[in-house]
């Protein structure tokens, strides 16, 4: 999607592959990518990415910001509800993009590079 001087990619359901790097090259990067980060399993590589793959895909897309999706909802996979948040936070360290992990309903300001999001999932059951 393009508008207001911003380029945004909504990834939907997808396994990791070379298509992310290709899109990053073809579109010369994105202001925001919204990529799956939950409901994964090593046995489903073509359905949902693992958090580490999501982090890699966001970097290959040339994204300035990553908003993980499919996290903290109902469970269809064999991982704890907070595992996607923990793993994407770790996998995003030292990456060139800004990781956005707002609480549901929290406003995100794409142009505010100082806006931070606490690890709100920590300590929740």
CATH code (residue 32): 3.60.15.10
Q: d(Cα 64, Cα 45) in Å, to the nearest integer?
A: 25
> What pLDDT was estimated at residue 72?
73
Copy the structure tokens of residue 32. 């925001």
> What pLDDT was estimated at residue 74?
66
Range of the domain at 31: 2-99
User: Does residue 105 form part of some domain?
Assistant: no
User: Does residue 114 form part of some domain?
Assistant: no
pLDDT mean values, one per 10 residues, the chain (125 residues): 93 92 96 93 89 98 95 79 95 97 93 93 84
> What pLDDT was estimated at residue 115?
95
User: Does residue 106 form part of some domain?
Assistant: no
> What pLDDT was estimated at residue 38?
87
Number of domains in the chain: 1
> What pLDDT was estimated at residue 104?
85
């Amino acid at each position: 999607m393009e508008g207001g001087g911003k380029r945004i990619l909504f990834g939907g359901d997808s396994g990791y592959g070379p298509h992310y790097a290709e899109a990053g090259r073809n579109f010369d990067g994105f202001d925001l990518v919204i990529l799956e980060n939950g409901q994964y399993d090593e046995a489903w590589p073509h359905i949902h990415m693992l958090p580490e793959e999501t982090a890699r895909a966001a970097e290959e897309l040339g994204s300035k910001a990553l908003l993980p999706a499919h996290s903290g909802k109902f469970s269809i996979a064999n991982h704890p509800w907070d595992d996607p948040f923990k793993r994407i936070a770790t996998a995003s360290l030292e990456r060139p993009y800004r990781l956005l992990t707002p609480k549901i309903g929290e406003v995100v300001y794409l142009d505010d590079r100082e806006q931070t999001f606490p690890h709100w999932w920590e300590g929740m059951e």
